[in-house]
Chain A
Amino acid sequence: MTSTTAMPTAASLSSPFQRWRRRFLRHRVALAASVILLLLVVIALLAPVLAPYNPYQSDWLAISSFPTAAHWFGTDELGRDILSRIMYGARLSLWVGLASVSLGTIGGIVLGLIAGFKGGWLDSLIMRSSDVLFAFPGMLLAIAVVALLGPGLNNVILAVAIFSVPIFARLVRAQTLTLRHSTYVDASRSVGASNTTLMFRHILPATLPSVVVYFTMRIGSSILTAAGLSFIGLGPEPDVPEWGNMLASSRSLMMAGAWHVSVFPGMAILITVLVFNLLGDALRDTLDPKAR
């Protein structure tokens, strides 16, 4: 976005960024999703302050309690406050989503830029490697990585990140291939810009709009994959307040007729992933109005 070589007068009228911001602010869904996301981030950051109870501590007088004034979302089979666990869980889920997709995006951007810009054997090597990664269905790859490295939050992040790399590599490569011979890149090459400058200063910014859209959407699906991994017992330790963990341990109480143990953590995942998906849709609509 900063790479456009607009005339100074045109830039002072409205830059592409300003035009995008105007479109985004007019997009009601985008605004609503941003507000909810902000709220989730605040809850995650301030969980120690906001949570009414310690998420690990059992209230032995209120085991498997339905929602009450003392425990708004009820308690689980060990008497732990579900609202507090969900608040702490927001930290884990947002962190897993953000960290894994950021790792995957950075890796994918660098590989995609190199593959698209340099071409030749490097391109073949990078693209064939991503074909191999694509041969694994996403969940299977994540399960394999966790089985190898052992369960735990950081291994889950790594497992989910690995699957994001080829997605971003392909995306960035495809755009680099077309941008490589665009007029403005040729122009700066002709005045002697180095390959690094061309790749990172001229081509990379132009790929960012679609990278941002994919990035946002991948966070949602990464949170889902991570919750699925914990649900099948390959995530963090079972007592960690992770949303997938909470759903897995809710099964016995569910069968006994408790609704709150499964409804609240599930809603937490749904709302969080929904916010990222809506935001991704809105970014796609506003960054590339043609796509709609």
Chain B
Amino acid sequence: MLSYALRRLLGIIPVLIVVSLLVFAFVKLMPGDPARIYAGPDASLEAVDAARHQLGLDQPLTIQYLQWVGNFLTGDLGIAYRNRQPVADAIGESFFPTLWLSLAAFAWSSVAGIAIGVFAARRRGRWQDYTAMSIAVCGISMPSFWLGLLLIQYVAVPFGLFATSGYAKPLDIVLPAITLGSTVAAVMARYTRSAYLEATHEDYVRTARAKGLTNRMVVWKHTFRNALIPVLTMLGLQFGFLLSGSIVIESVFSWPGLGWLLIESIKTQDQPVIQALVMLFVTMFLVINLVVDLLYGFIDPSARRD
């Protein structure tokens, strides 16, 4: 198990190297002269040249790349052009709002999604199943930012209980978390339902019934537990999607998180921030997927052999 984990962990290093090259190339190809953006629109040519030298932008690209990677590994993410503050500070401030939001969304959507999926599967073909699955397919078809707008208009504004934007008190997380988790809940409900139904057709479930186990034992110990393996995998993948979903949802609620910071930086062409944020998103996404794979290998030993 340990060697499998290590092998997988080492496996993401080449991907990260290629991604870092891509991100670097991507930022270099972005329109706009970074020295000009840093020095400001009114700066003289000399000031722009000085900024270029100060930022190391007059160095060859290979040197710039190696410097960036080296600094990145030691935690130095550079200086943001917009406010000339360290990028690490900006990201540090934005990280926790995004983390709390994602966790809150993940918590409710996974519980609700799995519960609805099992519920629908156990009432397969009846009206409860149809209702639950109709809601779920609408959930995956609805733009979640629209749900956010509707929640602001019809819940936040009339009741005054939640902020329409930003983050002032703990309760303010409720509406963004509902919005962000809605798609995941719908995806999980559909996925759990079909995983559960698939498990009910397995021979061991028939055997369990045949040997006279109670319905409860058959449902929870034999069907649900086996259906859980693919469900957990899917759940892990969904957490990664929550991260990218948060980019749009944060801008609906002006949530001061990483996604909001990313969009602001793109609009102000703040390249060091974009560079660091994209790397951070990709790294988190890869690590989450890795953890999911490892958990999968832990639950289902046959998955470890590849």
> Nearest chain-B residue to A278 (Cβ)?
B137
For the complex, is B75 an interface residue (Cβ under 8 Å from A)? Answer: no
Which A residues touch B262, using CB under 8 A?
143
Q: Considering residues B137, B150, B248, which has the most beta carbons from chain A within 10 angstroms of its beta carbon? A: B248
What is the distance, in angstroms, from A10's C-beta to the closest C-beta of chain B? 30
In Å, the complex CA distance between A135 and B30 comes to 21
Closest to B248 in A: A228
Residue A107 at the chain B interface, CB threshold 8 Å: no
User: Chain A residues with Cβ under 8 A from B286's Cβ?
Assistant: 135
Residues of B within 8 A of A259 (CB): 153
- A270 partner, pick from B138, B153, B263, B281, beta carbons under 8 A: B138
Measured CB to CB, the nearest residue on chain B to A223 is: B143
Distance in angstroms between the alpha carbons of A278 and B141 in the assembled complex: 9
Q: Is B267 an interface residue (CB 8 A)?
A: yes
Q: Which of B103-131 contact A (CB under 8 A)?
A: none
Counting chain A residues whose Cβ lies within 8 A of the other chain, the interface size class is 35 or more
Contacts A259-B153, A266-B150; is A147 near B141 (CB within 8 Å)?
no
Interface residues of B (CB under 8 A from A): 14-16, 18-19, 22, 26, 29-31, 137-138, 140-143, 145-146, 149-150, 152-153, 157, 164, 240-241, 243-245, 247-248, 251-252, 262-263, 266-267, 274, 278, 281-282, 285-286
Q: Which residues of A contact B19 (CB under 8 A)?
A: 132, 135-136
Q: Is A274 an interface residue (CB 8 A)?
A: yes
Contact pattern, A 228-267, Cβ under 8 Å of B = 1, otherwise 0: 1001111000000000100100110011000100110010
Contact across chains for A262 and B285 when beta carbons are under 8 A apart: no
Separation in Å of the A256 CB from the closest CB of chain B? Answer: 10
Question: By DSSP majority rule, is chain A's interface helix, strand, loop, or mixed?
Answer: helix
Residue-wise, chain A 140-153 has the 8 Å CB interface mask toward B (1 for contact) of 10011001101000
Contact of B152 among A147, A254, A266 (CB under 8 A): A254
Q: Can you list 5 contacts pairing A with B, beta carbon distance less than 8 Å?
A: A137-B241, A140-B247, A231-B145, A247-B145, A269-B143
Footprint of B on A, CB under 8 Å?
128, 131-132, 135-140, 143-144, 147-148, 150, 220, 224, 227-228, 231-234, 244, 247, 250-251, 254-255, 259, 262-263, 266, 269-270, 273-274, 276-278, 281
Contacts of B141 in A (CB 8 A): 220, 224, 270, 273-274, 276-277
Q: How far is the CB of B189 from chain A (nearest CB, A)?
A: 14
Q: Could you tell me if A244 and B143 are in contact, using CB atoms closer than 8 angstroms?
A: yes
Distance of A275 from chain B, by nearest CB (Å): 8
Chain A residues, CB < 8 A from B26: 144, 148
